[in-house]
């Protein structure tokens, strides 16, 4: 067989391979489409580990978590998260403190939701949410008493195993706390 015919055959095979990849690639992008907010609805319970960059006695602590996501007015949602923190007192027997936050989000432009009633200078954070693939990302921004900017980012990702939380708290550009947790949907 001459080289031209072999080159032509190889070219056709390459072309067909590209067409197959385009078809499969289109299918893969469709499979990775963002989930709808209602996929997050429900009560989620779990535990995780928090790491502090600024605490001498409580650099790594265990946390118990609960997240409740429910529908809210105008195609929005309400999210409440509660955390049992163990980061004060005696490191061998830390004091437990429950911290809870509830935010109500309404849709905004461009696939974002926004929480109302914010005043970052009065301690009420500006909060917004978005979905990225299978993650619900809630971000908040506030100004501390000494004027530093504080951003908190909660990435809650759904998988076949439940929900994974990846949390970051950044003050004036410095990471001061992070946490990772696993939560399971709790049937009621």
pLDDT at residue 10 tops 60 = no
The fold of 37-186 is Lipocalin (2.40.128)
Residue 127 has a pLDDT of 97
**9 strand-pairing partners:** none
Q: How far is CA 93 from CA 76, 86, 179, 181, in A?
A: 41, 9, 20, 22
Residue 55 has a pLDDT of 56
Residue 60 has a pLDDT of 77
Q: What is the pLDDT of residues 115-158, one digit of tens each?
A: 988 899 998 899 999 999 999 999 999 999 999 999 999 999 99
Q: Which of 86, 39, 88, 48 is nearest to 66 (CA)?
A: 48
Helix (H, G, I), strand (E, B) or coil at 41: coil
Q: Which band of pLDDT confidence, cut at 50, 70 and 90, is reported for residue 97?
A: confident
What is this structure's pTM?
Answer: 0.76
| 158: phi then psi, degrees, rounded to nearest 5 | -85, 145
């Amino acid at each position: 067989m001459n080289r031209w015919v072999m080159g032509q055959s190889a070219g056709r095979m390459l072309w067909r391979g590209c067409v197959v990849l385009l078809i499969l690639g289109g299918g893969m992008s469709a499979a990775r489409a963002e989930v709808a907010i209602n996929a997050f609805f429900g009560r989620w319970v779990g535990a995780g580990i928090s790491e502090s960059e600024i605490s001498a006695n409580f650099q790594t602590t265990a946390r118990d978590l609960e997240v409740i996501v429910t529908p809210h007015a105008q195609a929005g949602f309400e999210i409440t998260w509660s955390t049992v923190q163990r980061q004060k007192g005696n490191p061998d027997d830390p004091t437990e403190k429950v911290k809870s936050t509830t935010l109500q989000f309404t849709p905004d432009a461009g696939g974002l939701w926004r929480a109302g009633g914010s005043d970052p200078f009065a301690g009420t954070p500006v909060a917004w949410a978005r979905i990225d693939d299978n993650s619900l990302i809630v971000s908040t921004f506030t100004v501390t008493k000494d004027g530093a900017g504080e951003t908190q980012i909660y990435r809650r990702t759904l998988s076949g195993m439940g929900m994974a939380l990846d949390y970051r708290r950044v003050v004036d550009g410095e990471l001061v706390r992070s946490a990772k947790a696993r939560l399971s949907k709790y049937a009621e």
